[in-house]
Each structure stands twice: as structure tokens, then as C-alpha cells.
Structure 1
């Protein structure tokens, strides 16, 4: 009789959130989420904004119908499923954003190297002029 270990079961991975995100990354996900919700309700938001132009306190009751329509639309679309879609979009574009950030850092480093080279050339030129 052989002692075989019990079969290993793979733990379930949360594919929608495979990594714990930092606070700034969570804020980026929230921005995508709010942008998506506002996109669904763009017509209602526009109607309320047009009604509220040049109004302050009175916009609350004068634009009541538009405000209620806008709020009900936002509540209807502000669901956890929409936040999951925003999180998936964030993860899908994560590598692209990382590459863009790295390209910016590389450009800064390249510029810094050019400035250092120019400073050294200038110092060399000054030394040659002083030696004459």
C-alpha cells in the first residue's frame, strides 16, 4: 500500500481583483467607475445642468424633475457590477499605463544626461580658454 498525498486543489483566485491595490490605484479605479456611470447618464446630467444654469439655491426645486431623473439614473447604474467592470478596465490598461510612465521616466533621464554632457562640454571649453 503506497502513501500518496491527497490531490491538491487549486485555490480560487479572484480574477476581477488579482492583486491588492494601493490607495492611489483604488482611486484610479473609482475615477474610471464614476466616469462610466456619468457616461451612462450623460443626457440626464446635461438636462439638469442646463436647467441649473444661472440658478443657485432655486435650482433645488426649479430643476427638481431633472435632478430626480439624474439621481435615479446614477443610482441605477452605480452598482457593484459597474465597479467590477471599471476594475477590469483598470487591470486591462495597467500595463499600457506602466509603459507610458516608464517612457516618461526614460525621457527625463535622457534629457538629464544631455544636460550633464552640455555642462561638461561647457566646463571643458572654459578650461581651454583659461589655458590660452
Structure 2
């Protein structure tokens, strides 16, 4: 099969050639290839969507004002503001924006960890106070120790290893 030259028209037509995405084959798809758990990915997605929405606030407001007080006629009456809003969101929903959202999520990890620890300590203090107030027996010391130990653990990035996976240490023994 012969490959057409650059200046000759292709059988698919010029419209289809313009719509094909240009990819850099050697490029890494993301600057942050660390695998995250499903809940962590959902948090990154929430940051991403918030960033995209923040860039299209005017278009979203215009569509919301048009849709206010309408039911099933929204799709007919607000077609143009809807198209403008969607095109803005598509314009800003890029892989670069996803990478920026992921970086923002990673930057906030320490702050989230501190907040989690603060809430857990407050919960333990409140529980201790209520036990004293109502005259309930103290918590088992081993259970309290486990809770404090759990509190000190850092957020896990990358998920858990498979049980069937051969560990490096075990591989050398074989």
C-alpha cells in the first residue's frame, strides 16, 4: 500500500486529517505516574473538576441563569449557552490540567495528614472525657495503643502489593 505524499489529498479527506490528535510517541503520559488508590484518584479528579470549573465560571453562570426556572425546555432554550459552557470546559480539561491537579493534590498531602491527626486526637480526647463523665471503664490499653499507632501512620500512596507477587528478597533465595 502506497503512502500519499504530504501535499497530495488523502482518501479520508482534509476534515478527518485535521481532527486527528497529534501525539508525541516518546512522551510519558503523565509527569506523576505514581498509582493512587481509587479514593485518592477520586480526590484528584475532584481537584481537577474544580480547577476546570473555576476557569469557566462566567460560562457556567450564563447557562445557569438561562436554565433557571425551566425543566425539559432547557435543552432547547439554552442550547447556545450550553455549547459555550461545554466548549470552555473541553478547552480547559487537558492532560496538563490533570497533571496540575495531581500536583496540587500531592502538595496538600501534609496538610490533609495534619488535619486527619488533629481530628483523631480530638475524637480520642472527647471519648476519654465521656468515659470519665459517665463513669465507664477505661479503654483497653492495647486498643488505645493501636489507635495511637494507627494515627501516626502516613497516608499510603501506591496501593497494596499483590499477595502472589514475588518479593525481591524471596527471589534471591530461589
Range into which the TM-score falls when normalised by the shorter chain: 0.7 to 0.9
- The alignment's C-alpha RMSD in Å is 1.9
Query: Are 2:112 and 1:97 equivalent residues in the alignment?
Result: yes
- TM (norm. structure 2) is 0.58
- Uncovered stretches (5+) of structure 1, i.e. residues with no partner: 1-13, 122-132
Q: What is the number of equivalent residue pairs in this alignment?
A: 108
1:44·1:69 contact (CA, 8 Å) conserved in 2? yes
Deviation sequence 1:63-122 (CA, Å, 0-9, x none): 11101100100000011110110000000001101110110000000111122223349x
Find the counterpart in structure 2 of residue 83 from structure 1.
Answer: 98
Give 1:16 shift. 4.2
Shift of the 117–19 alpha-carbon distance from structure 1 to 2, 3 Å rule, reads farther
Q: Which has the larger share of helix?
A: 1
Find the counterpart in structure 1 of residue 63 from structure 2.
Answer: 48
Find the counterpart in structure 1 of residue 144 from structure 2.
Answer: none
SS in 1 for 2:71: coil
- TM (norm. structure 1) is 0.75
SS in 2 for 1:88: helix
In terms of Rg, which structure is larger?
A: 1
- Uncovered stretches (5+) of structure 2, i.e. residues with no partner: 1-28, 137-174
